[in-house]
């Protein structure tokens, strides 16, 4: 079995240190094969916020955990206009990861990160044509029996967010073609601060068979209708279990678990457990 912990939207600078400590403890206890962090490490891309993120990552890595990260829109400076356009991700690359297209091949899964954070389309992000080619080429040369996972900060789909709809990343229709052609199984993203799991085909008609897994914010104090949470993802051959671990005021506890089974080119819900995290 391959086990991932999927964190997102840590937002150092607008974070709760109690939750940061709780997340670290859970990572140590669960000992996943990989920790995936889908962007928004900081609140305002300031140096001291990146330094806090860096210390968090160092503690995880020193304890022996592998981490795969992509930047989010909050990791690009918003008000520092010179830096925003001339060197938008310099601090991210110095303090978080020096690659913007990380690839990790672990037993049972191939995980590719794609940077969607941009200076111009600041909030909604974008995927380039080169990145779409890169997705296709990467999965052409990786293990065909391994579960294929793509990680972005911005979701590739428009998703309901309260009464409104949060838009998909720029060029999402073309990106979905690449994802479908590359046979990607799981799409992991954040940005909306809301945890959810969907079949890609239930969201748009022209999509591959991917399971769309959104993580909430793990440690930010800025919430949208949901408590802080992270996802635990267990992959066992053709079966994937996604458990949302939600903050209940004193600990992260499983609130919602769903198991999906691969049936041809579709993920079928095999089991669903909904639990209200005890307050
Ligand atoms: Fe965020
Ligand atoms: Fe974001």
pLDDT tens-digit profile of 125-178? Answer: 999 999 999 999 999 999 999 999 999 999 999 999 888 999 999 999 999 999
In a domain, 39, yes or no: yes
For residue 80, report the distance from its CA to the centre of ligand 2, in Å: 18
For residue 171, report the distance from its CA to the centre of ligand 2, in Å: 17
For residue 241, report the distance from its CA to the centre of ligand 2, in Å: 25
Predicted pLDDT of residue 86: 76
Residue-wise pLDDT tens digits, 210-241: 999 999 999 999 988 899 999 999 999 899 99
Predicted pLDDT of residue 44: 95
In a domain, 279, yes or no: no
For 58-81, what is the mean pLDDT? 94
121 pLDDT exceeds 70?
A: no
Q: What is the pTM of this model?
A: 0.95
Instruction: Specify the higher pLDDT residue, 277 or 271.
Output: 271
Predicted pLDDT of residue 97: 97
In a domain, 61, yes or no: yes
Predicted pLDDT of residue 276: 53
Cβ within 8 Å of residue 53, ≥6 positions away: 10, 12, 41, 42, 95, 96
In a domain, 135, yes or no: yes
DSSP string, the chain: -EEEEEE----BTSB-HHHHHHHHHHHHHH--SEEEEES--BSS--HHHHHHHHHHHHHHHHTT--EEEE--GGGS-SS-HHHHHHSTTHHHHHHT-S-SS-EEEETTEEEEE-----SSSTTT-B--HHHHHHHHHHHHSS-TTSEEEEE-SS-SS-EEETTEEEPPPBTHHHHHHHHHHTT--EEEE-SSS--EEEEHHHH-SS--S-EEEE---SSBS--SSS--EEEEEEEETTEEEEEEEEE-SSSEEEEEEEEEEEETTEEEEEEEEE-PPP-
Three-point CA angle 160, 2, 16, nearest 5°:
55
Predicted pLDDT of residue 266: 84
Give residue 193's pLDDT band: very low, low, confident or very high (50, 70, 90).
Answer: very high
Predicted pLDDT of residue 275: 64
For residue 210, report the distance from its CA to the centre of ligand 1, in Å: 23
For residue 43, report the distance from its CA to the centre of ligand 2, in Å: 9
Domain harbouring 66, CATH code: 3.60.21.10
For residue 125, report the distance from its CA to the centre of ligand 2, in Å: 9
For residue 262, report the distance from its CA to the centre of ligand 2, in Å: 30
Instruction: Specify the higher pLDDT residue, 86 or 64.
Output: 64
Predicted pLDDT of residue 264: 81
Q: Which range is least confidently modeled, 41-55, 113-127, 143-157, 238-252? A: 113-127
Query: Considering the chain, what is the average pLDDT of its residues?
Result: 93
Q: Are 233 and 4 in contact (CB under 8 A)?
A: yes
For residue 237, report the distance from its CA to the centre of ligand 2, in Å: 31
For 207-212, what is the mean pLDDT? 89
For residue 40, report the distance from its CA to the centre of ligand 1, in Å: 5
91 pLDDT exceeds 80?
A: yes
For 102-118, what is the mean pLDDT? 97
Other Cβ atoms closer than 10 A to 14: 18
- Could you tell me the residue range of the domain that residue 231 belongs to? 2-274
Give residue 279's pLDDT band: very low, low, confident or very high (50, 70, 90).
Answer: very low
Q: Which ligand is located closest to the Cα atom of residue 10?
A: 1
Instruction: Specify the higher pLDDT residue, 234 or 204.
Output: 234
For residue 264, report the distance from its CA to the centre of ligand 1, in Å: 35
For residue 267, report the distance from its CA to the centre of ligand 1, in Å: 28
User: How distant is the alpha carbon of residue 184 from its chain centre?
Assistant: 15
For residue 251, report the distance from its CA to the centre of ligand 1, in Å: 21
Q: Which two tokens stand for residue 256?
A: 């919602």
Q: Which ligand is located closest to the Cα atom of residue 116?
A: 2
Q: Which ligand is located closest to the Cα atom of residue 152?
A: 2
Give residue 84's pLDDT band: very low, low, confident or very high (50, 70, 90).
Answer: confident
Predicted pLDDT of residue 278: 43
Count of domains forming the chain:
1
For residue 34, report the distance from its CA to the centre of ligand 1, in Å: 21
For 62-71, what is the mean pLDDT? 98
Q: Which residues hold their Cβ within 5 A of ligand 2, which is an ion?
A: 40, 72-73, 191
């Amino acid at each position: 079995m391959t086990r991932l912990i999927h964190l997102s939207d840590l937002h150092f600078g607008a974070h709760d240190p109690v939750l940061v400590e709780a997340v670290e403890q859970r990572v140590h206890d669960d000992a996943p094969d990989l920790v995936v962090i889908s962007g928004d490490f900081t609140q305002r891309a300031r140096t001291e916020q990146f330094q806090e993120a860096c210390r968090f990552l160092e503690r995880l890595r020193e304890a022996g955990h592998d981490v795969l990260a992509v930047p989010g829109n909050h990791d690009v400076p918003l008000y520092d206009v010179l830096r925003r356009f001339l060197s938008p991700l310099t601090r991210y690359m110095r303090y978080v990861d020096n690659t913007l297209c990380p690839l990790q091949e672990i037993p049972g899964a191939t995980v590719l990160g794609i940077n969607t954070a941009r200076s111009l389309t600041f909030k909604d992000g974008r995927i380039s044509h080169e990145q779409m080619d890169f997705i296709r080429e990467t999965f052409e040369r990786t293990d065909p029996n391994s579960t294929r996972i793509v990680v972005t900060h911005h979701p590739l789909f428009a998703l309901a967010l309260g009464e409104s709809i949060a838009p998909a990343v720029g060029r999402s229709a073309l990106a979905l073609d690449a994802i479908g052609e590359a046979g990607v199984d799981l799409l992991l993203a954040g940005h909306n601060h809301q945890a959810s799991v969907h079949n890609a085909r239930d969201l748009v008609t022209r999509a591959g068979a991917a399971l769309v897994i959104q993580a909430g914010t793990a440690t930010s104090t800025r919430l949208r209708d949901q408590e802080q949470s992270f996802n635990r993802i267990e992959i066992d051959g053709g079966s994937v279990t996604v458990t949302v671990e939600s903050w209940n005021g004193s600990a992260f506890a499983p609130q919602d678990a769903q198991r999906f089974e691969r049936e041809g080119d579709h993920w079928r819900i095999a089991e669903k457990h909904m639990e209200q995290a005890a307050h």
